Amino acid sequence: MGTLENETGTAVLRRTTSSPPEKNWRTWLIGRPLQTADAPHQTIGKAVGLAVFASDALSSTAYATQEILVVLAAAGTVAFGYAFPIALAIVVLLAVVTISYEQTIHAYPGGGGAYIVARDNLGERPAQVAAAALLTDYVLTVAVSMSSGVAQLTSAFPELFPYRVALAVALVLTVMVVNLRGVRESGRAFAVPTYFFLAMMFLTVGAGLVRAALGNLGLVPSPPEFVIHPSVALATPFLLLHAFSNGTTALTGVEAISNGIPAFKEPRSRNAGVTLIWMSAILGTLFLSISYLAVQIGAVPSEAETVISQLARTVLAGRGPLYLGTIAATTVILIMAANTSFADFPRLSALVANDGFLPRQLTYRGSRLVYSRGIGSLAAIACLLIVAFQASVTALIPLYAIGVFLSFTLSQAGMARRWWKIGHLAPDVEVQERGSSLRHAPGWQLKMAVNGFGAACTAVVTTVFAVTKFAEGAWIVLLLTPALVIVFFGIHRHYQVLAKDLSLEDYGAPPHVHRHRVILPISGVHRGTLAALRYARSLSNDVTAVHVSIDTAEAERVQKKWERWGDGTRLVLLESPFRLMIEPLLDYIEEISAQRQPNETITIVVPQFVPRRWWANLLHTQTALWLRMALLFRPGIVITDVPYQTA
């Protein structure tokens, strides 16, 4: 423990708590708690990063071709010949998006993807639209990938079809638990299945391409039931655009790496950029190969059997061990696709919450240094969707991909705007923005053109998707996104009003000394804190303010403000390496209580601000309530709340 005293005479004690969290069922389930100092050791390399962040994009190869065929089926099997040209156009779009996001990774090494790019270059409203679109897409990714994984399973074992909803929900909860164990742990758990999937898929499509070249590939034996339409006249441009929009689900997940850059080892930007290029190359190769072979073997879209299943049993000569291995690998990668969302949804929600547009609780890391509240929220919402749509991929797909293409558009438009700003800077000028710094760079015109072209392409795809999928359910997302933005700004207004009410600007002089042993827990220094301090000093001259520090920079800010506003009242900073809030404070109170003199009473004065609207309490951690519950039955200790009414 160190003691400091500055020129104002305020004593500041800095100490680190040695008490680790108690072992309980969560320790057994998700592992031992990690200290904040362990964070740099929880980063991952390129090979594991591919498993963590690319599983969503790679898994889309399992259903993207089928979704193209579902639409083309309206014009009969002859129209299936358009599937490969459509897939080729989608891969060209993939290349454009990849180049754009590779630039984003190097421009914004702190991560955040479309949200940060839009916030810094387009403004707060486009940023919140990007956030709402991406968060919605991450939830749908979990629901779609789990439902598609179960569909692969029921293709191989039809007797499991009635239990598909329960299986999908159970898989969501399993992936949630794995992710609660930490980024490095989940990456290691999923690395082997990812590379097993790649091996099996390249074996399958490789064998299929060789057999096609030799002319002995053949057609699907005993294909699932399919109603054949007699005419190809219905293959209109609208139908082809509809099929194209369905197939663009193959691009979902491309943005994931740009959101998760902080999870990579140093040099982060380079490792993330290389992983993005690996992912896009693999994705494009597999998607084109599967689309080509599906047409060659006469695969048909069916809820009863997936296109991948038909391809595997045609190429691998029946339902033998290799077929089962391919289906198992595909099922696992589809389940793991949800892992990308579990990696990115909590990070993005924490960024948005840190800006004050979501509840602040989403910024807190759990015992394994992951945003556990975000992980739990994602799992709960995804399970509700799976139950509501009965784990049907076809029913969920219309809701899917609009959000991600909207975020693509905003991200690339933001990057184009960024290059324009860079191009208009003097060579020796550097401008610091919230997410990055701007310096003049040669060749900015070409980079702006690339991002502008990408923004135009993805804007067209977003429009096509919205129009062609509107009646099938896309209208839900088109209404949900602006509704979420409205909610975000409502939360933001609450925090702004609260900050104004608690501000010490133009507040006057610090409270004077009035004159029992009093402990004053504080989370920050604001008007509510000073109201509690004034009350504490009316009880006794022996007042100790206590702040539990889980963030060094925040503790420094609290110390500086306390030196000005604490009027000489001593401050104890409890360093909490495990980011626990209540436990270090309870240990400190227990230590003081053990030294208590006869007939001496310890009073805990707890500042508590009370919003005028009841629902606003959901946006705060309610530390006073938890502390009161923890201390209620401790003898010789009085707990006093000092409410401070706010807007």
Helix (H, G, I), strand (E, B) or coil at 589: helix
**pLDDT higher at 442 or 488:** 488
Q: What is the reported pLDDT for 514? A: 46
What residue segments make up the domains of the chain, in order of their start? 2-18+503-646, 34-493
pLDDT by residue (tens digit) across 154-173? 877 888 888 989 999 999 99
* Amino acid at the residue 230: P
**Looking at residue 265, what DSSP letter applies?**
P
d(CA 136, CA 312): 33
d(CA 515, CA 536): 9
The answer to whether 15 touches 575, Cβ cutoff 8 Å, is yes
Given pLDDT bands bounded at 50, 70 and 90, which one contains residue 234? low
Q: Can you give the length of the chain in residues?
A: 647
Phi, psi of 31 (to 5 degrees): 105, 170
C-alpha dist (Å) from residue 428 to 115, 315, 421, 424, 439: 28, 61, 14, 12, 8
Phi, psi of 432 (to 5 degrees): -95, 120
Q: What is the reported pLDDT for 515? A: 46
Could you please report the per-residue DSSP string of 84-109?
HHHHHHHHHHHHHHHHHHHHHHHH-T
CATH class, domain 34-493, is: mainly alpha
Q: What is the reported pLDDT for 513? A: 43
Q: What is the reported pLDDT for 289? A: 94
Q: What is the mean pLDDT of the chain?
A: 84
Indicate whether this model's pTM tops 0.85.
no
**pLDDT of residue 353 exceeding 90:** yes
Give, rounded to a whole angstrom, the gap between the first and last alpha carbons of the chain. 39
Q: What is the second-level CATH architecture of the domain 2-18+503-646?
A: 3-Layer(aba) Sandwich (3.40)
- 570-575/542-549 β-pairing: parallel
C-alpha dist (Å) from residue 187 to 113, 197, 530: 21, 15, 46
